[in-house]
Amino acid sequence: MKEFAKREYRGSLRMVHKKRLIQLLCAALILGMATVAYGATKMPAFTLEDVRDGGDVNSRAYEGKALFITFFATWCPPCIQEVPNLIDLHEKYGEEGFSVIGLSVDQGGAKVVRKLVERTSINYPVAMADARVMQEFGGVYGIPVAFLVNKNGNVVKKYTGYVPKSILEKDLEKVL
């Protein structure tokens, strides 16, 4: 009988520990979601060389707009695969206060990127990224990498790799 009581006590103690652990995990999850929802950071300001005409692409000119900032290269197959989707999104949501901005990490310079812009009829601003901007966006170590920015200028989502148009559209509709 004494052994049975010990086993019962240990069993109930385990249940209490499991319940407490579940409560702590739930609290951590809720706090983590709050951090994600409210932990948005301001988009870094930049002025970069426009590949079309050598002028400036200035982030301040897009204040009050939702943005999709994408870092890409002309030699990157997933980057090129995204271009038609980004052209469509820029066209479809442009009137609602949205713009795509392409930032090229190509080492060949604006001339190489300009050829891609012309060949694919890119309708959104494309500029040459520099090391400072790549660092201020948290370090761009692989491409494509992109950032969704809400109309308040806060980066609300980071995308690594190719992202299907349906996901981009769903996320975009949340910030417009």
Predicted confidence at residue 122, as pLDDT, reads: 97
Backbone torsions φ then ψ of 145, nearest 5 degrees: -135, 140
pLDDT > 90: what percent of the chain? 74
- Confidence band for 55, pLDDT divided at 50, 70 and 90: very high
Predicted confidence at residue 7, as pLDDT, reads: 55
**pTM attached to this predicted model:** 0.77
Residues 141-156: tens digit of each pLDDT:
999 999 999 999 999 9
Q: For the range 54-58, what are the long-range contacts, defined as Cβ-Cβ under 8 Å and sequence gap of 24 or more?
A: 54/110, 57/101, 57/125, 57/126, 57/127
* Distance separating alpha carbons of residues 68 and 55, to the nearest angstrom: 20
Assign domain 41-175 to a CATH class.
alpha beta
Residues 74-125: tens digit of each pLDDT:
999 999 999 999 999 999 999 999 999 999 999 989 999 999 999 999 999 9
Predicted confidence at residue 8, as pLDDT, reads: 54
* Distance separating alpha carbons of residues 52 and 59, to the nearest angstrom: 17
**Mean pLDDT in residue range 43-69:** 95
- Confidence band for 27, pLDDT divided at 50, 70 and 90: very low
Average pLDDT, the chain: 84
Res 133 pLDDT > 90: yes
Residue ranges per structural domain of the chain: 1-39, 41-175
Predicted confidence at residue 30, as pLDDT, reads: 35
Predicted confidence at residue 1, as pLDDT, reads: 52
